[in-house]
Amino acid sequence: MITETAEMTISRSPDVMSGTPVFAGTRVPVQNLLDYLAGGHNLDEFLDDFPTVRRDQAVELLHRIKEMLTDAQI
């Protein structure tokens, strides 16, 4: 089941970026945030470079990833 919060955070459509998961309402792939963080950049730098992504969307994505990892007990 997709929650309302999830729907406001991530979208996926074959008509947008060939179905790549993007931040809802943008064409910014969610992978970009992970790449930025892995490259040593912080969240503010990401948001400055991708102004169409809202802070709450990025934070929600990170919380969801954390929950997935916790549930997987990795």
**Residue 40 belongs to some domain of the structure:** yes
**Residue 1 belongs to some domain of the structure:** no
**Residue 55 belongs to some domain of the structure:** yes
Residue 57, domain extent = 27-74
Instruction: Say how many domains are in the chain.
Output: 1
DSSP type of residue 27: S
**Residue 33 belongs to some domain of the structure:** yes
The pLDDT score that the predictor gives to residue 72 is 85
**Residue 13 belongs to some domain of the structure:** no
**Residue 34 belongs to some domain of the structure:** yes
**Residue 56 belongs to some domain of the structure:** yes
Tens of pLDDT, residues 27-60: 999 999 999 999 999 999 999 999 999 999 999 9
**Residue 14 belongs to some domain of the structure:** no
- Residue 9 near residue 60, CB atoms below 8 Å: yes
